[in-house]
Structure 1
Amino acid sequence: MATSTITLIVLAIAAILFVTEIIPLAVTAMSVPVILALTGVLDAKKEAFSGLMDTSVLLFAGMFVVGAALFETGVAKKIGDSVVKIAGTSEIRLTFGVMFIAAALSAVLSNTGTTAVLLPVAIGIAGSAGWSRGKILMPLAFAAGMGGIITLVGTPPNLAANAVLNTAKLPPFGFFEFAYIGIPITVAGIIYMLTLGRKLIPDRNPDDMSEEAVEEVKVVPFAKQFISVAILLGVVLIMAFDIIPLHVAAITGALLCVVTGCLNEKQAYRSIDWTTIFLFAGMLPLAKAMEITGAGAIIADSVVGMMGDNVGPYAVMTALFFLSAILSQFMSNTACAALLCPIGLAIANSLGASPQAIVLTIAVAASCAFATPVGTPPNTLVLGPGGFKFVDYIKVGTPLIVICYLVCMAVIPIVWPFY
């Protein structure tokens, strides 16, 4: 059996198990690299388990510990109490504030780093306001994803689209040119999450360490609170100015939290959401397999072949948007954009249509990974803390993808005309 066929079968089975949750998510995810190694799709020593060494996984682990230090010292609760005292307990008002900040930061910083930094603060706000943390964590993750579309450096698919245009010696997109589509998508997404989306988010809270943290606030000295905040701010500044890699900054911050006594070793271990770690680490090899075996290309070619020869640019945009969006739920959005943008460029040339419009549609769709917890790191980060199930992302994220599609169809042809 061809390796591409095996990869597609593994993808289908994993998708079914994720949705039904017949077995735990982490078990399903870590079964994927095992199967890919046993079937020879990926090299067992180099590729199959490379996800466990991925920098994003290290970033997750480090930021979980840094965030936990804010809980253990009582800082997160203090911030939450202060925000609620100023803004009240209005769920809509507080959610809007968190989404606005997340989107703005993600436009110029890593959306993963933004989500990781805001995660403990958002949980503190939800706790102080007295409502389910999931109601603010999923909007936080989605806002970080949408905000990245606003600038050239906000998300890797934007850079991939520019690279394809440069290779074809076509005018590339400007740094803020993506804002013409990124801002409308972000505004529409925020409106959706404050209305219908908010109602679709499940009202549940996971059992975690927060109760212990609240108890310990009474005896935690101010010095440790100051240190935990200083460590967080230091990590944020280092990430913002790209002084050292994000994962190095996060791990360094985590080590400092333990060394300075903001939390002990056991608390640090307990603060890491291992479902998140194994889920992301297990699915990265599948994304790699889809790329190197040509499984992703097979899906792309099948969709393009179904369109036929006599199709208009709107039909092409629609097909490529949903193809890109669907693929990005399970494979790297960067790899997805790199795979599909050249195909979109070729199709645009055959139609005599604007390549910018088609390529941009693919790039934007690749960033719309809202329907699974493994589509993008921000989604994975909030999975455990929010107490979410796989199907929760499908329920809330799918309408958001449709909204993003409608915004693309309305805005892109106006700003970047087909002809």
Structure 2
Amino acid sequence: MSFDLLITVACLAVAVVMFLLGKPRADAVALIMIVALPLSGVVSVNEALAGFSDPNIILIAALFVLGDGLARTGVAQRVGDYLIERGGSSERRLLTLIMSIVGMMGAWMSSTAVVAIFIPIVVRIARQSNIPRARLLMPMSMAALTSGMLTLVATSSNLVINSALIYRGLKGFPFFSFTPIGLPILAAVIAYMVFASRFLKGAAGTEATHRPSVNDWVARYSLQGRAFRLKVALNSPLVGKTLGRGGLGDNPDAHVVAIERRAGMGTSLLLATSESNIAPDDVLLLDVDVAAFNVQSFCERFALVSLRMSGAYFTDQRHDVGMAEVIVPPDSSLVGNFARSSVALRRHGLTVVGLRRADAAIEHDLQTTRLKVGDTLLVVGPWINIFTMQSVEHDIVCLAMPVESEAYVPAPHKQVYAVGCMALVIILMLIPAVPNVLAGLIGCLLMGFLGCVSLDSGYRAIHWRSLVLIVGMLPFSIALRRTGGIDIAADAVLSVAGGWGQHGLLAAVFAMTLIVGLVISSTATAVLMAPVVIAIAEHLHASPYPFAMTTAIAASAAYSSPISTAVNALVNTAGGYRFQEFFKVGLPAAIASLVITVAIVPLLWPAYPH
């Protein structure tokens, strides 16, 4: 073993130890390696930094932005609503739907982003269905990991291995080349988790420690039956008038929370003030003191149509209409003022719909009730106004935000544009003449032009830590190849499994990748394993594609460890799992993935094609 190889192996060992310890964090480890390898003389500075110019790095960044566009426009949240509607109270049906939809969505956007979006959705589903959240969260994360096996762009590890093939002068994988393997594995994992989820317990007490929901506040502040959605007919006398002139601006018994109005292909939520104009087909979101206000008579008088509401108190509109619980501090200028005539709340476009004093709800006369120090108010209005109030208002202090606040969608009327942009990107990626990175950048520009994302949100959506981690680990493949380390690793694998035949060798490659993936991220695993498996193919004078595909699938099958992927780390915290639960439940799924991969890959990519 040469001195340069010793230095390279030592640096790699130090990096793995730091990954295991979690100190410093993974991207800092990558930066340390970018500095250490050139200082050792094994690679040059230009080689160490070459990853920043890799087209796949730009493509990964573009995919983060595209995924953010799907989240900001509410596409992901609409899928969550569908789950709640279709799943009912059946745990098996809910689990199957959650895993299927998360798996499909993860094929087009970051699996980490999908899990971050779905954690509050799944927690809400678990609470409403009286199912322990631990029995749904880990299956969701396993589906998200499996989604990386469905398309070329589903996970960065696929792109890393694809890049390694291109670097060696070979053709990359087509966009859907992973799908024939990923779909059977996803089906097998879903079927397995329907059975195995019953063994997931999570940490004791996890179910009791959750943020309040809108439904909790509806009960706490006695809001049942007070919400109405009234559509303005074309012949309504309110058309062309303001809320004030129509008699709703300062009505003590009925208050318009907001106005829904058609905008393009969707609807937008408008602030409701005395000066707000009313147009045909507007929908008034009305909070009513039903004991003092006759809604039916009001509808007949002003030609309004009462629309059906399936949820309690505007929960059907939770993507647009928000709630917050606030308290009146001692130095507030609101003390002594009427609850609903607060200038501080009016300037934020918020309405007081609930008031609690001395742990009792005041259900009537909110318009004439004067505020006291320590009063707790429930305010309602557009989410963006609530967030603004929370950050700049000093006359009230925000006590709590509901769990639904995590489902806030900044651009709900842009959903069709976001889906169209994503579809265009996929179509462009299927055209051989269009590089994948160019297709991704075109999609990002279109989403920005159409308002699905902004420049600021796009930059925030990029997971820079992941990019730095990939770039920082890429020089190891150069160093190991130059110093002979890859050949040594390939020879070691061949000496053990060389006589096992094609299926046995692929199983050994899968197992080795799986073991490495227990302690480091799937991306780092792909960076380290890609040159090794390509070298194995070269030593055997065989096609590199079955070995590369097996490695890519194995890198995504990191079901058994809560520390090696951000996906598992997120649900580990939310579900309160123990390491043993991940290993006990995840290992059989990983073995099933191995069996399916080893069975299918040789059929699609023979090692010795005729």
Question: TM-score, normalising length from structure 2?
Answer: 0.48
Shift of 1:77: 1.8
Is the alpha carbon distance of 1:394 and 1:227 closer, same or farther for their aligned partners in structure 2, counting shifts above 3 Å? same
- Tell whether the 8 Å contact from 1:61 to 1:251 is kept in structure 2 after alignment: no
Find the aligned partners of 2:460 and 2:28 in 1 and give their Cα distance: 19
Q: Read off the aligned partner of 2:12 and give its amino acid letter.
A: L
Q: Read off the aligned partner of 2:531 and give its amino acid letter.
A: A
- Tell whether the 8 Å contact from 1:59 to 1:251 is kept in structure 2 after alignment: yes
The match for 2:10 is 9
> SS of the counterpart of 2:554?
coil
The match for 1:144 is 148
Q: Read off the aligned partner of 1:40 and give its amino acid letter.
A: G
Is the alpha carbon distance of 1:287 and 1:323 closer, same or farther for their aligned partners in structure 2, counting shifts above 3 Å? same
Cα deviations by residue, 1:113-134 (Å, 9 ceiling, x for unpaired)? 9342777566545443336877
Shift of 1:86: 2.3
Q: 1:97 aligns with which of 97, 100, 109?
A: 100
Q: 1:339 aligns with which of 524, 528, 535?
A: 535
Cα deviations by residue, 1:53-100 (Å, 9 ceiling, x for unpaired)? 222321222122222223333333223212432234745212431366
The within-5 A match list for 1:77-156 is: 77-88=77-88, 90=91, 91-98=94-101, 101=104, 114-116=107-109, 124-129=117-122, 130=124, 135-145=139-149
The within-5 A match list for 1:158-237 is: 187-192=187-192, 196=196, 215-216=383-384, 223-237=413-427
Is the alpha carbon distance of 1:53 and 1:183 closer, same or farther for their aligned partners in structure 2, counting shifts above 3 Å? same
State the identity as a percent.
25
Greater Rg by CA: 2
- Tell whether the 8 Å contact from 2:558 to 2:590 is kept in structure 1 after alignment: no
Cα deviations by residue, 1:132-152 (Å, 9 ceiling, x for unpaired)? 87752442232432778xxxx
User: Is 1:65–2:251 an aligned residue pair?
Assistant: no
Find the aligned partners of 2:449 and 2:601 in 1 and give their Cα distance: 51
User: Is 1:251–2:441 an aligned residue pair?
Assistant: yes
- Tell whether the 8 Å contact from 1:324 to 1:340 is kept in structure 2 after alignment: no
Find the aligned partners of 2:458 and 2:30 in 1 and give their Cα distance: 24
Find the aligned partners of 1:159 and 1:274 in 2 and give their Cα distance: 19
Q: Read off the aligned partner of 1:23 and give its amino acid letter.
A: P
Is the alpha carbon distance of 1:94 and 1:262 closer, same or farther for their aligned partners in structure 2, counting shifts above 3 Å? same
Is the alpha carbon distance of 1:398 and 1:226 closer, same or farther for their aligned partners in structure 2, counting shifts above 3 Å? same
Find the aligned partners of 1:180 and 1:66 in 2 and give their Cα distance: 25
Cα deviations by residue, 1:353-410 (Å, 9 ceiling, x for unpaired)? xx89x9957853563114669xxxxx9785897688xx98995766544444455778
Shift of 1:334: 4.4
Find the aligned partners of 2:460 and 2:162 in 1 and give their Cα distance: 37
Find the aligned partners of 1:198 and 1:287 in 2 and give their Cα distance: 42
Shift of 1:228: 2.7
Shift of 1:52: 2.1
Is the alpha carbon distance of 1:306 and 1:338 closer, same or farther for their aligned partners in structure 2, counting shifts above 3 Å? closer
- Tell whether the 8 Å contact from 1:76 to 1:120 is kept in structure 2 after alignment: no
Q: Read off the aligned partner of 1:116 and give its amino acid letter.
A: M
- Tell whether the 8 Å contact from 1:145 to 1:367 is kept in structure 2 after alignment: yes
Is the alpha carbon distance of 1:250 and 1:302 closer, same or farther for their aligned partners in structure 2, counting shifts above 3 Å? same
Shift of 1:36: 1.2
Larger strand share, 1 or 2? 2
Find the aligned partners of 2:433 and 2:198 in 1 and give their Cα distance: 37
Find the aligned partners of 1:297 and 1:227 in 2 and give their Cα distance: 49
The match for 1:21 is 22
Cα deviations by residue, 1:156-190 (Å, 9 ceiling, x for unpaired)? 989999xxxxxxxxxxxxxx999998776555444
Q: Read off the aligned partner of 1:96 and give its amino acid letter.
A: M
Is the alpha carbon distance of 1:40 and 1:372 closer, same or farther for their aligned partners in structure 2, counting shifts above 3 Å? farther
Find the aligned partners of 1:398 and 1:237 in 2 and give their Cα distance: 36
Q: Which deviates more from structure 2 when the two are superposed, residues 129-138 or residues 19-28?
A: 129-138
> SS of the counterpart of 1:49?
helix
Shift of 1:303: 4.2
Q: Read off the aligned partner of 1:144 and give its amino acid letter.
A: G
Find the aligned partners of 2:512 and 2:409 in 1 and give their Cα distance: 54
Give structure 1 stretches of 5+ with no counterpart.
Answer: 103-112, 149-153, 162-175, 205-210, 347-354, 374-378
Shift of 1:28: 0.9
Q: Read off the aligned partner of 1:136 and give its amino acid letter.
A: M
Q: Read off the aligned partner of 1:140 and give its amino acid letter.
A: A
Shift of 1:51: 2.0
- Tell whether the 8 Å contact from 1:37 to 1:44 is kept in structure 2 after alignment: yes
> SS of the counterpart of 2:32?
helix
The match for 1:364 is 550
Find the aligned partners of 1:271 and 1:413 in 2 and give their Cα distance: 38
User: Is 1:39–2:40 an aligned residue pair?
Assistant: yes
Is the alpha carbon distance of 1:93 and 1:301 closer, same or farther for their aligned partners in structure 2, counting shifts above 3 Å? same
Find the aligned partners of 2:486 and 2:586 in 1 and give their Cα distance: 22
Is the alpha carbon distance of 1:100 and 1:385 closer, same or farther for their aligned partners in structure 2, counting shifts above 3 Å? closer
Shift of 1:294: 2.1
CA RMSD of aligned residues (A): 5.1
- Tell whether the 8 Å contact from 2:146 to 2:185 is kept in structure 1 after alignment: no
- Tell whether the 8 Å contact from 2:534 to 2:548 is kept in structure 1 after alignment: no
Question: TM-score, normalising length from structure 1?
Answer: 0.65
Q: Which deviates more from structure 2 when the two are superposed, residues 135-144 or residues 192-201?
A: 192-201
* Number of equivalent positions: 366
Is the alpha carbon distance of 1:386 and 1:321 closer, same or farther for their aligned partners in structure 2, counting shifts above 3 Å? closer
The match for 2:452 is 262
Q: Which deviates more from structure 2 when the two are superposed, residues 222-231 or residues 53-62?
A: 222-231
- Tell whether the 8 Å contact from 1:184 to 1:407 is kept in structure 2 after alignment: yes
User: Is 1:51–2:44 an aligned residue pair?
Assistant: no
> SS of the counterpart of 1:22?
coil
Q: Which deviates more from structure 2 when the two are superposed, residues 67-76 or residues 271-280?
A: 67-76
Find the aligned partners of 1:95 and 1:140 in 2 and give their Cα distance: 10
> SS of the counterpart of 1:145?
coil
Find the aligned partners of 2:429 and 2:572 in 1 and give their Cα distance: 27
Q: Which deviates more from structure 2 when the two are superposed, residues 253-262 or residues 61-70?
A: 253-262
Cα deviations by residue, 1:203-254 (Å, 9 ceiling, x for unpaired)? 99xxxxxx99983488956543333333223223323445622222222322
Find the aligned partners of 2:74 and 2:177 in 1 and give their Cα distance: 42
Is the alpha carbon distance of 1:242 and 1:201 closer, same or farther for their aligned partners in structure 2, counting shifts above 3 Å? farther
Q: Which deviates more from structure 2 when the two are superposed, residues 397-406 or residues 85-94?
A: 397-406
Find the aligned partners of 1:30 and 1:142 in 2 and give their Cα distance: 29
Cα deviations by residue, 1:330-349 (Å, 9 ceiling, x for unpaired)? 53654333211244x37xxx
Find the aligned partners of 1:398 and 1:316 in 2 and give their Cα distance: 20
Larger helix share, 1 or 2? 1
Shift of 1:24: 0.8
Find the aligned partners of 2:457 and 2:197 in 1 and give their Cα distance: 34
